[in-house]
Amino acid sequence: MNIKKNLPVLFPAMVLFLLQGCAVVKQSIFLQNVDVSGPINQPPLHITEGQKKNTVTFSPNIYINSQKNYSGYISGHTNVNSMGIFQFDTVHYDDGTSGYKESVANKYPYAGQNFTWTLPDVQVGFQVDAALSNHFAVSGGFNYAEANRNKLINGNIGIGFFTEKNNSAVRFDMGLLFQNIFYNASSVVFTTITPVFGSGKSYISFFKDRNNSTATDFYGTLTYNTTGKDNLINFYFCLGYFGQTVLNYKPDNPDINKFPFSHSNVEEDTRGDIFTSFLYFAPGIYKEFEEWGRISFGVRLLKETKIQNSSGSLFAVPVVQFDMTF
């Protein structure tokens, strides 16, 4: 075959073939339901009593979760039918293939609970606090927990400013929390393929993402405690705020029809990070022991402020901590 001789015929055919291979693929992604498991990663407790430059405090602790499950609504769900269910129909295409499409019955916003958080019964931790001066310290630590047979280690780093005077002390802390959490997320992906020539195709796909994700968030606390040497016991209370990202993942890319040549993707992802935030008040008492340090008992009252339509956003978490200063 003489290519040069037949080029006037082949060239238009090649151009047409290339144009038919081009298309715009739009994917709209909706999070339907998600289950996560892991602890509430709380800021550390730092009691100020006789803390001086170059002293280091080691603090093992234990947190007991009185509430084991937390549920609510997170945005990004598809519309549903009158029974609150996402309905879909089977569709057959001209090329002999079949798929799923959204039903016209989905006219109503989803109004149920599509988020569940499973909390561990207990979490244990260890904290180190080093005073670099008589008023400034750096800290860091970790905690360990198991939830739904998943083993999780979270951590924190921070700085603190403290002062002690007239049998009382005040300390302000701020820092970062590092958490790891497991998730099981169900999603629906709407895909629309629009070629340059010919009819387009629309279909839906279903996905489940099971994995674990990590995130970093901020905390800030203000702690007041008494320091009376002659007191049988002293007390403390702490006010604070901290955030926790409980879902932060990049979903698996849905399969799309493969084109032999170029195509462009337009993605609209309604699944953002799921972020929770907590305000808390933590009253407690502590007892000094000259031989080794002190022991403190308290309860943290946590108020979750982000999840909508929740099953109960107030948590009560008893805390026991031992402090050894060297």
Q: Give 253's pLDDT tier (boundaries 50, 70, 90).
A: very low
Dihedrals phi, psi of 298, to nearest 5 degrees: -160, 180
Tokens of 142: 């970790």
Residue 256 has pLDDT above 60, yes or no: no
3-state secondary structure of 291: coil
pLDDT one-digit tens code per residue, 80-115: 999 999 998 888 777 777 778 889 999 999 989 999
Tokens of 72: 């609510």
pLDDT one-digit tens code per residue, 300-319: 999 999 888 887 889 999 99
Alpha-carbon distance 123 to 142, whole Å?
10
Provide the pLDDT for residue 127. 98
Residue 18 DSSP one-character state: H
Calculate mean pLDDT across residues 191-216: 80
List of residues 6+ apart from 9 with CB closer than 8 A: none
Please, are residues 176 and 159 in contact by the beta-carbon 8 Å criterion? Answer: no
Alpha-carbon distance 276 to 243, whole Å?
6
Q: Give 250's pLDDT tier (boundaries 50, 70, 90).
A: low
Q: Give 150's pLDDT tier (boundaries 50, 70, 90).
A: confident
CATH number among 2.40.100.10, 3.40.50.1000, 2.40.160.20, 1.10.600.10, domain 23-325: 2.40.160.20
Provide the pLDDT for residue 153. 93
Residues facing residue 287 across a β-bridge: 295
Q: What secondary structure does DSSP assign to 60-81, as a single string?
A: EEEEE-S--EEEEB-S-PPPB-
Residue 11 has pLDDT above 50, yes or no: no
Give the start-to-end residue ranges of the domains of the chain. Answer: 23-325
Most confident of 3-7, 83-87, 129-133, 244-248: 129-133
The alpha carbon torsion through 61, 64, 69, 71 (nearest 10 deg) reads -60
Calculate mean pLDDT across residues 286-310: 90
